Structure 1
Amino acid sequence: MTFSQDLRDENSDIFQAIFTHPFVQGIGKGNVPKEALEHYIKADFEYLNAFIQIYGMAISKSNDRRDMAFFNDQIQFVLHSEVHPHHNFCESIGVNYDELQGYALPPTADHYVKHMMYHAQTGTLAEIICALLPCPWTYLEIGKELMKTYKPADDHPFYKWIRFYADESVEKITTTMRNRLDELATEASIMEQKRMKEAFRKSCQLEWSFWEMAYTREEWPDAKLVGSR
């Protein structure tokens, strides 16, 4: 069994919790509260900006041009392709995409970004991939699960979103990252593999928390609320 398959097996509980989260199930049913969608888009726009920066940091730690080319391609993918799912959500609630950009990250998203930045700054290339991989991997499986369970047609409000993440382009990204991770894992020490597993699991947990953050419209505590205790 490969290292990446071990990671998937060890975190199957988190993957399953993500599939059954009410926000994710709401996408499948075509019924997510407008406020939750807005909160998600605001946070995800800034989160993906950070993702681009971390891809750049991964390039700086790459010695192989194959890795450099891959991460460069992923920067282009986020910039030019991953805006389409956001547009689908915006169209469904009648809000201009530009209106949902430039907001501060809520606590969970802020923690997620800093978690990935930590591994990008202090870890190896393998650790960076482990911190990044749960994002495309969980979204790929979400897309496939929703396609299988709900079989959305063209008139489904979130058909474009579901179809995008179930598509072969996201599967190719996930597979490429998994294969490269498996190669790097064979060269990693026991301690490095432990850090890789910890980075992967925490990112999986934060993926679930990101959906929860959006669904509950998590905000930073108000100054008056904090001061009243």
Structure 2
Amino acid sequence: MLFTESLREENNDIFQLIFDHPFVKGIGEGDISKEAIAHYIKADFEYLNAFMKIYGLAASKSSSRDDIRYFFNKMEFILKDEIHPHHNFCEYIGVPYESLQGHPLPPTADHYIKHMLYHAHTGSMGEILGALLPCPWTYLEIGDELMKRYQPTPDHPFYQWITFYSDARTRSTTTEMRERLDNLAKEASPSEKNRIRDAFRKSCELELAFWEMAYTCEEWPSGKVVKRI
């Protein structure tokens, strides 16, 4: 069994919880509150900005031009392509994309970014990829699951979102990252593999928490207190 196959098997419980989360199911059903979608976009815009910076940190740790080119291409994919699912959500709620950019991060998104930055600054290349991989992998499988469960047609309100994450380009992003991590794992020590497993598991947990954060419009505790006063 490949290393990433074992990671997927070990974290199947979280993947299933993500598929069954009410926000994710709401995408398939074409029914999510506008507040939850806006909250998601605000956080995800900043999250993807951080994701690109982590790709940049990974490139700075790379020893070959092939690796540098790989991370550069991944940054370009986020800049040019991964805005399309956001636009689909913005069209649904009738809010300009620009108005949902530059907002403070809610607690879960803040923690998720710092978790990835920790591994980017202190860990091996394997740890970095282990922390990054759950994002594209869970979204790919969400797209596949929603296609299978709901079989959306072009008139579905989130057809563009679902088909984006189930298409060949998104699939190749996950496949390429898995292949790189599998190759690194062949040379990794048992202790490094455990660190990669820990980084991957926590990122899976935080992917699930990110959906919950959006669904509940999570805010910092002080904001809740102020509203009660």
User: TM-score range with shorter-chain normalisation?
Assistant: over 0.9
CA distance in 2, matches of 1:66, 1:28: 38
Aligned to 2:138: 138
CA deviations on 1:182-223 (whole Å, 9 max, x unpaired) are: 000011111100000000000000000000000000001126
The answer to whether structure 1 residue 203 and structure 2 residue 203 are counterparts is yes
Map of 1:1-229 to 2, 5 A cutoff?
1-222=1-222, 225=225
Structure 1 gaps of 5+ residues are: none
TM-score (norm 1): 0.97
CA deviations on 1:106-144 (whole Å, 9 max, x unpaired) are: 000000000000000000111000000000000000000
CA distance in 2, matches of 1:203, 1:224: 26
> RMSD of the TM alignment (CA)?
1.2
CA distance in 2, matches of 1:224, 1:73: 41
CA deviations on 1:144-189 (whole Å, 9 max, x unpaired) are: 0000110000000000000000011011010000011000001111
CA distance in 2, matches of 1:46, 1:17: 24
- C-alpha displacement at 1:66, in angstroms? 1.8
TM-score (norm 2): 0.97
- C-alpha displacement at 1:46, in angstroms? 0.3
Q: 2:221 is paired with a residue of what secondary structure? A: coil
Runs of 4+ in 1 over 6 A off after TM superposition: none
Structure 2 gaps of 5+ residues are: none
CA distance in 2, matches of 1:213, 1:181: 29
CA distance in 2, matches of 1:223, 1:102: 18
CA distance in 2, matches of 1:191, 1:207: 24
Q: 1:222 is paired with a residue of what secondary structure? A: helix
CA distance in 2, matches of 1:42, 1:67: 31
Q: 2:219 is paired with a residue of what secondary structure? A: coil
**Residue type of the partner of 1:102?**
G
